[in-house]
Amino acid sequence: MTCNASALRPEAGADGSFSLHSGAFAEGFHSPAGARWEADHTYLGPAELQRYAAGAELRVLDVGVGLGYNSAVLLEAAAERDLTLRWWGLEQDPRPLRLALADPGFCAQWRPSTLQQLGQVLRGEAGWPGRILWGDARQQLVGLEPWLRGRCDLVLLDPFSPRHCPQLWSQDFLGRLARLLAPGGRLLTYCSAAAARGSLRDAGLELAALQAPAGAPRLRPRWSGGTVAGPRPLAPSTLLRPLSAMEEEHLLTRAGEPYRDPSARAGATEIQASRLQMQAQAGRSSTGAWRRRWGLDHPRRNGVVGPT
C-alpha cells in the first residue's frame, strides 16, 4: 500500500504470513486472512494469466507496492507460464518492502530470483525490466502515462482504504488508471467501496465483483472479495460475478459519491471535506436506508467487513 506509512509494526494474518500495521492510519496493510492469502486470491487469481499465450510480455503497474506480495506472486506465476513482465511500481515509502526483505519468514516464501528482483527495484538497480517510482503516486504517474496509455495489461491497485487515503481513490486518479488499460487489460483491487466502483464505471470500465471465497474470514456471505474492472465485459467465472442488485443499488446511495481531486495535490482532509459537502447536496439516497432494506449491519460492527 502507499501513502505515508509511519509508525509501522509487524503483524501476521490468519495464514501466518508477515505483514505490517500502520499506526498513522490505524489500519493493517493486508486482509485479516493474511498477506499471502490476499495476494493469491485478490490479485493473482482474477488476473487469470491463463488468458495469455506462453512467450507473451505483460505490462504491469503496481499501485501501492507495500511489502511486494502482489507483484511477487505475479512474478512467480508468470515465470511458470513463460510470461515476461514489464513492471512499474508506485510507492511513497520504501520501509515496508525493506522490512519484508529483512524478514526470514517473508523470504522463505519466494524463489531466490523473486527476492533478487524485489531487491533490485528497492535499491534502484538495473537487472530485470522493473522500476519503482518513489513519491506521491499522483505525480509519479505523470511520467508513465504517455508510455502505458492503452497498453497496460494489469493494474494492481492496493493503497490504504478510501476513508484513510482518498487521494488514490479519487474519480480523477482512477480515471487516469482506467485510461492506461489495454483493451483486454484488468484493474484488480480488494476494494468494494461504492465510490471507487462508481468512479471506475464512470471512467468507462466494465465491473465484476470478486467472489468471496468460502474460507475468507470476516467477509459477509452476500458481499464480494474485491473488484475487477476492464474496458471489455468480464465473463462470469468461478472467480468473477456480475454486481448484485444490492451492490448496484449501493452505487446510487451517498456512499457512491466520488472522491474528487482535480488538482492531483489535495490532502486527505480536503478531499474528505469536499465529498461530505457534495453528499449533502447531491440528492442521493440514504446509505443507512439502503443498509436497512438489505438487512446489513454497520460495516465494522462485530468485526465483520461489509460495504462502505
The confidence score (pLDDT) of residue 280 equals 93
**Per-residue confidence (pLDDT) for residue 6, from 0 to 100:** 61
d(CA 75, CA 257): 36
Mapped onto helix, strand or coil, the DSSP state of residue 244 is coil
Within 13 A of 136's CA, how many CA atoms are on the CB side? 12
The pLDDT value given to residue 212? 77
pLDDT at site 224: 86
> pLDDT tens, 59-88?
999 999 999 999 999 999 999 999 999 999
Q: Helices (H), strands (E): how many in the chain?
A: 12, 11
Identify which of 157, 41, 19 has the alpha carbon closest to the alpha carbon of residue 97. Answer: 19
The predicted structure's pLDDT at residue 1: 45
| Radius of gyration (C-alpha) of the chain in whole angstroms | 18
Task: Report d(CA 118, CA 130) in Å as an integer.
Answer: 9
Helix (H, G, I), strand (E, B) or coil at 301: helix
Taking only the tens place, the pLDDT of each residue in 197-242 is: 999 999 999 999 998 766 555 545 557 899 999 999 999 899 999 9
Hey, what's the torsion of the CAs at 5, 9, 12, 17, to 10 degrees? 60
Residues of the chain with pLDDT under 50: 1, 3-5, 219, 299-306
256 three-class SS: helix
> Which candidate, 223, 234, 151, places its Cα nearest to that of 200?
234
What torsion do the CA atoms of 202, 203, 206, 207 make, to the nearest 10 degrees? -70
